[in-house]
Amino acid sequence: GEDVEQSLFLSVREGDSSVINCTYTDSSSTYLYWYKQEPGAGLQLLTYIFSNMDMKQDQRLTVLLNKKDKHLSLRIADTQTGDSAIYFCAERSGGYNKLIFGAGTRLAVHP
Amino acid sequence: DAMVIQNPRYQVTQFGKPVTLSCSQTLNHNVMYWYQQKSSQAPKLLFHYYDKDFNNEADTPDNFQSRRPNTSFCFLDIRSPGLGDAAMYLCATSRDRDILRGNQPQHFGDGTRLSIL
């Protein structure tokens, strides 16, 4: 069945780059998403990538997709304390826009 | 700003006492979704409405129901809440659900955190 896996925790120094990794299982996924969740809040759509792309850049965010290995990553350049949050990877699966989420990666940014 | 609004942000109910959570949207999207998110877990889809058409996930307990009286509003009803139903409930919308129409990103509200006494 569908499954999305993420590492649970990442700690980086302020100003460094963060790389959050994700693997998924549904090879027919056409869109993959990254969402950000701050404490006590809902999910904020950060970016997405279409499956025929290898890379997408959006300001400080870079998404890399390796479709062969079913591996997705989110790189945040110049990480700031405001980037501290939980980041969820999600694949669009099934015939009706269903999202399958990973368990989330908690990013901690320290001075 | 167009958005997805959930009320209340925090809800406390008693074991077995019915509770209703509310979601409204100003995006005029056709699809509304309800997710359950337990602590440190991934959000899990319970069901969605495509216009007035209700679509339940196979593993959603019968205790969970939903209503969509119009395009803007959708409600989540929990008929007899148990301790295991304590969670964050997230509402989301998308313009469409037809994957042949390209990207249909889901937009989320801030959630309602439900506690059961």
Q: Does A27 touch chain B (CB under 8 A)?
A: no
Residue pair B106/B92 in contact (Cβ under 8 Å)? The answer is: yes
Question: What average pLDDT does chain B have?
Answer: 94
Question: Which 3 state secondary structure label does DSSP give A93?
Answer: strand
- Output the six-digit token pair for B69: 């009286």
Q: How large is the average pLDDT for residues B14-20?
A: 96
For residues A35-56, average pLDDT:
93
Q: How far is the alpha carbon of B3 from chain A, nearest alpha carbon, in Å? A: 12
CA atoms within 13 A on the CB side of A36: 15
B contacts of A102 (beta carbons < 8 Å): 42
Give the pLDDT score at A110.
94
Do B42 and A43 lie within an 8 Å CB cutoff?
no
Tell me the pLDDT tens digit for each residue of A51-109. 889 999 999 999 999 999 999 999 999 999 999 999 999 998 777 788 999 999 999 99
Distance, in angstroms, between A22 CA and closest chain B CA? 13
Residue B29 per-residue DSSP state: -
Q: Could you give the CA distance from residue A71 to residue A62 in angstroms, rounded to a whole number?
A: 14
Mean of the pLDDT values across residues A38-58? 92
What does the alpha-carbon distance between residue A80 and residue A24 come to, in Å, rounded to a whole number? 28
CB B89 within 8 A of CB B21: yes
Q: How far apart are CA A47 and CA A32, in angstroms?
A: 9
Taking the alpha carbons at both ends of chain B, their separation in whole angstroms is 36
* Integer angstrom CA distances of residue B42 from B28, B34, B70: 27, 13, 29
Residue B84 has pLDDT above 60, yes or no: yes
Amino acid at B90: L
CB spacing of A41 vs B50 below 8 angstroms: no
In chain B, which ranges are E strands? 4-7, 10-13, 19-25, 31-37, 44-50, 53-56, 64-67, 73-78, 87-94, 107-108, 112-116
